[in-house]
Amino acid sequence: MQLRIVFVEVFITVSSINALNRPDFESSWLPIRSQVKDSSAIRVTHGLGEIPLIVDVQVKSIDDPNNGFLFPAVGGQPRDDDSKDKYGGVLYVYNDREVTVTVPCRSNNSPSGSALYLDDDEYYTGFSIQTSHDVLIRVRAWKASSLPEPNFQKTDIFVEARSANVDEVYIEETHGLNEYPKYILVRAKHLDSSSAGNVSDGLGASVVSYADQAHKGNGYFIYGYNDNDVRIWIASDSNGYILDGADGYGLDESVLTAYIEIYAWSDFPKANEFTTHLGPDILDEQFEIPIERLHPDDFVRAFVESMSGINEGYRFLGSGALAIASTITDPGCSYGGLVYGYGHEKIRFWRPTDNGGLICIGQGFGDGNASDKQANGIVVITRWPTWNTIICTSFE
């Protein structure tokens, strides 16, 4: 009896099954704890020899009621510690060597921040309440060569926080795809000597916004996009930064100047896309929806699309960072944004109450241009499986 061995090569393109390549780097799950100086920051060496094009930092809750759910970290400080108002969220920056991840840590005022903070009360409403100092984080990174070529990119837009030149704090750039990009990335490559070479990703809302308040400033930048344009808002208040991690977080960086980089794809693998509506005017509003076959290795992003106002039709990135302002800190919009987490084949949401805005662009950004506050929005959830999740399974 002869044993016959046959080798068969099968070639399947990533785009044909709407999946991303595996990350070029993926860390293990690492513990991090807020409000403890020695454990409030982690440097994760990725070893890619270049700046990754996409970085995804997942934050895993290890406490109920969201045990096992994943929340996306953010590329800027949601707010500082100069208030007793609660805040939460994990911050990251990256370069050609490593990804630095940090959580809230008291600098000079109140220890009111936590790695994960979720609310369902006066200022936010959503699936549940949770405050957790201990979480796990995982870093994933993709090189440009592992992704499709962007259909639009611009990498030399100079910006400067606090600038009197409006063109350096408010940008409108045409991507010209004539459709919503299948994926878009807006990030800042830092120029200040203390942070030169580091990169931070943009946020989708004024998490908390200050408009020229003493000893308080904004520490992130905002972007939104539609089927033709990208809008970018840089902190224009007198104490603002493009990135600030030195007041209330464990990152000793305060960045005033940067080049903004925009990458937009129409030829990105098509995402599994789901939509819902959130807001006080939405009937049968749902803060949890099922997503069949959702896996922790999937690449997930949720955006909120404005339904009215000056930014109607623009989409803004959600995050895992929630912060409140119990007093008016910005006449345009004091706090807001979409907060989401996913796991166990479900995605959960949190949104501001009438005090804040689901769409929130404070006057402390962009010299007040296109400042906006909208309570209702269309939530667009995009999900890409990676090759890690494809095991004898087909995806539509």
Helices (H) and strands (E) in the chain, counts: 0, 31
Q: Kindly report the length of the chain.
A: 396
* Element housing 388 (H / E): none
Of 25-29, 61-65, 125-129, 213-217, give the lowest mean pLDDT range.
213-217
- What tokens appear for 289 in the block? 């929806």
- Residue 134 vs residues 100, 122, 131: alpha-carbon distances, Å: 17, 25, 9
Tell me the pLDDT band of 362, cut-offs 50, 70 and 90.
Answer: very high
Give the model confidence (pLDDT) of 253-264 as tens digits: 999 999 999 999
- Give me the percent of the chain exceeding a pLDDT of 90: 79
- Residue 3 vs residues 6, 7, 8, 9, 251: alpha-carbon distances, Å: 10, 13, 16, 20, 61
- What tokens appear for 11 in the block? 């070639």
- What tokens appear for 392 in the block? 């004898």
pLDDT value for 347: 98
Supply the mean pLDDT for the chain: 91
Superfamily of domain 145-265: Immunoglobulins (2.60.40.10)
The gap from C-alpha 199 to its chain's centroid, in whole angstroms, comes to 14
What's the average model confidence in pLDDT over 148-171?
A: 98
Vertex 387: Cα angle to 384 and 389 (nearest 5): 75
- 140 pLDDT exceeds 50? yes
Give the model confidence (pLDDT) of 241-282 as tens digits: 999 988 788 888 999 999 999 999 999 998 899 999 999 999
Give the model confidence (pLDDT) of 293-349 as tens digits: 999 999 999 999 999 999 999 999 999 999 998 888 899 999 999 999 999 999 999
Q: How far is residue 83's CA from residue 205's CA, in Å, rounded to a whole number?
A: 20
Coil, strand or helix: which one is 145? helix
What's the average model confidence in pLDDT over 40-57?
A: 97
Of 4-8, 91-95, 347-351, give the lowest mean pLDDT range.
4-8
CATH 2.60.40.10 location in the chain: 17-143, 145-265
Give the CATH number of domain 272-389. Answer: 2.60.40
DSSP track, 280-345 = TT-TT--SEEE-TT--TTSEEEEEEEE-SSTTTT-EEE-BS--B--SS-S-SS-SBB--EEEEETT
Class in CATH terms, 17-143: mainly beta
CB 330 within 8 A of CB 362: yes
* Element housing 309 (H / E): none
Q: How far is residue 190's CA from residue 51's CA, in Å, rounded to a whole number?
A: 13
> Closest Cα partner for 55 from 185, 155, 156?
185
CB 288 within 8 A of CB 381: no
